[in-house]
Amino acid sequence: MVTTRNLLSFTGSLSIVLISPLMAHGQVTEKISGEPYNPYQVTVDQANQVNSVFIPREGNATRFKRSSIPKENIYQVRFPRDKEPEKIPDVPTSKISPVLNKWFQTKKLSDEVFVIITFQEDQQIPLLPELREGEKRDEVSKERQQAIEKIQATRTESQLRRIKQNKLFSSFKITQHFWLVNAVVGKIPLGAIRELAQSSDIVYIQPVQGGEKPPDAIPNNDVDDARGLIVSDPYFNLGLTQPWIGLLDTGIRPTHILFNSPSNIAWVRDAVNGGANCNNTSNPGYNPFDTFWNHGTSTAAILSGNNRLGNAYRGVTGVLVDSWQIYTNAGLNSAAAIRAIQCGVAAYDKVLVGEIQASESETGAIATAADNAYDAGIIFVSANGNFGPADNTVRSPGIAHKVLGVGAFATTDQTQYNGQGRGPATDGRFKPDIQAPNNSETASNVSDTALQVFSGTSGATPYASAVAMLARNWLRQFGTFDNGQTYAFMILYGQKSYPYNNTEGAGKLKMATNGWANWGKIVVTNGATIDIPIGIGATKKNLDASLWWPESASQAHNDVDVHLIDPTGVERARGFSALSVFERARVSGALASGTWKIRIRGYNVPTGGQVVYWASHYQN
């Protein structure tokens, strides 16, 4: 078992200061949305730089270079009102979860129930300190642990103060405080919930145990077939296997042949009965294994199964997996899901995989914890759930702002999975963000050699999560630190350009090879235009560009667009949605040689400024 959390090697240094594009012209923005809170001086990407590298069909990328966006390419214009308004869906919202609303009809109002109460946010989660060279994560890292303890102390004090000041909490018996999200667990009479929900400082109330099941089979449906669809093997072959993936699921069967000799499982923990650190093995009922649902074993094998059953069943990455068990035989335990997210953040997991379809809004405790995990430096990928095909059926945390929601298509013939949950979210955002293959044959918990077909959006989520891990590690080679940059590449890997829909999002994942990739981050202010020059030689084809930006659930939405401008100044494609937090555009076929521009416009940025990540690729 490998425990030392080594970061990928990097030569050189980057500034940790975020610079607004308009500062070059003597203007200072009021506020930068998406700018990380960074009191521990964690290394982050510098804005206004263009990174460029050639990606071959196989082997290491070559000819990496870095340049700055010319100052004259950052300017203010008055945009024509040329965008069709997109209607925000009229979706009723409530502070009380759908499960609790059903309980009002099926349970006695005097029944005491365990609930999670989420308060208004009163602190910003910082980027957390990283492991230093030579440190091991199972030897408590003082810097990260002290940072978490500081957040926990502030949270607990604030939560207790809110409870003490509100008379409606008189019948509430608190049992746990969370630190990643401003929420508490406790017992309360069911009949007291409606009145309590009217309190202005409460965002959401949901049950601890809502009964949600894991989100869930043929020739041509092995894992290698799905890997071929997402073109992940060239990235796997680079051997970039650090640090860890955290799996939030039903536990695993660690003795399965796909997990042993070589071993690719790091920690196997129980977030339901394992206490705050998910590893108190003396607690009654402690069970980190895939006992009830035969689900997490399949997810883990797709993420990182070995090749002992042959190449057909090898996983997408060689990265070690941390398994965080969050289900009971009755279904999802929401408090355990939050504990697992906290433990994954504390354990330096870089990608968290949400095999969850919680019945809550984007302001629910799990979705909020997932968004806050992004702020701490995590890439979060989660299933859209299996309650489609109707609109507004995406589940949590896939519904969250800073989570990549995953839809599904069949490995065998690439047809749409009809049961996939669909957006839009209540504020109009498109969901899923991307799609990945499902219905592939992989490990089962029935025996140490058993296989099964893994269906639903559950079957797609590990492929998308593994791609995110491969992309993160690939970018890290070039000194790219920000997790948001991986999100931009995930949108780039999609194959669906504007206009988007709530079935495909940015489309089916296909990792980029055989061409030039360019990427970076900028700060976009209202009315700003940033022209990023991309030199394209003769006989090139298929230019793709993507944007992604982090928004919080409470902020005003920023509308940012991308336009692809050819060497003669003519617009050839655009990503032009009003409501999404991503954009994607493509120019198909032969490309004119010369300097193209990726034009990014702050069409409507009411927050004063927005951090935006961009990526592009064109083929040989």
Average pLDDT value for residue range 411-417:
96
What integer pLDDT is reported at residue 261 of this predicted model?
87
pLDDT range class, residue 85, cuts 50, 70, 90: low
Q: Which residue has the higher pLDDT, 186 or 139?
A: 186
pTM of the model as a whole: 0.93
**Residue percentage of the chain with pLDDT more than 90:** 89
- Residue ranges of E strands in 414-514: 434-438, 440-443, 451-454
Q: Give the tens place of pLDDT for each residue, 194-253.
A: 999 999 999 999 999 999 999 864 567 899 999 999 999 999 999 999 999 999 999 999
CA distance 353 to 340: 11
Q: Give the tens place of pLDDT for each residue, 274-312.
A: 999 999 999 999 999 999 999 999 999 999 999 999 999
Give the tokens for residue 171.
Answer: 């019948």
Distances (CA, A) of 83 to 79, 156, 575, 578, 607: 10, 46, 11, 8, 20
Instruction: Give the domain ranges of the chain.
Output: 21-87+512-619
pLDDT range class, residue 29, cuts 50, 70, 90: very low
Residues 6+ apart with CB under 8 A from 330: 209, 211
What integer pLDDT is reported at residue 139 of this predicted model?
75
pLDDT at 22 over 60: no
Q: What is the DSSP letter of 505?
A: T
Q: Give the tens place of pLDDT for each residue, 440-485.
A: 999 999 999 999 999 999 999 999 999 999 999 999 999 999 999 9
The domain over range 21-87+512-619 is classified in CATH as 2.60.120.380? yes
**Residue percentage of the chain with pLDDT more than 70:** 93
What integer pLDDT is reported at residue 12 of this predicted model?
32
Q: Give the tens place of pLDDT for each residue, 530-577.
A: 999 999 999 999 999 999 999 999 999 999 999 999 999 999 999 999
Assess contact for 341 and 369: CB atoms under 8 A.
yes
Q: Give the tens place of pLDDT for each residue, 39-73.
A: 999 999 999 999 999 999 999 999 999 999 999 99
Number of neighbours of residue 330 by Cβ within 10 angstroms: 12
Give the tokens for residue 36.
Answer: 């990380």
Q: Which residue has the higher pLDDT, 138 or 538?
A: 538
pLDDT range class, residue 23, cuts 50, 70, 90: very low
Distances (CA, A) of 364 to 74, 398, 455: 38, 12, 26
Average pLDDT value for residue range 110-132:
96
CA distance 251 to 273: 12
pLDDT range class, residue 19, cuts 50, 70, 90: very low
pLDDT range class, residue 141, cuts 50, 70, 90: low
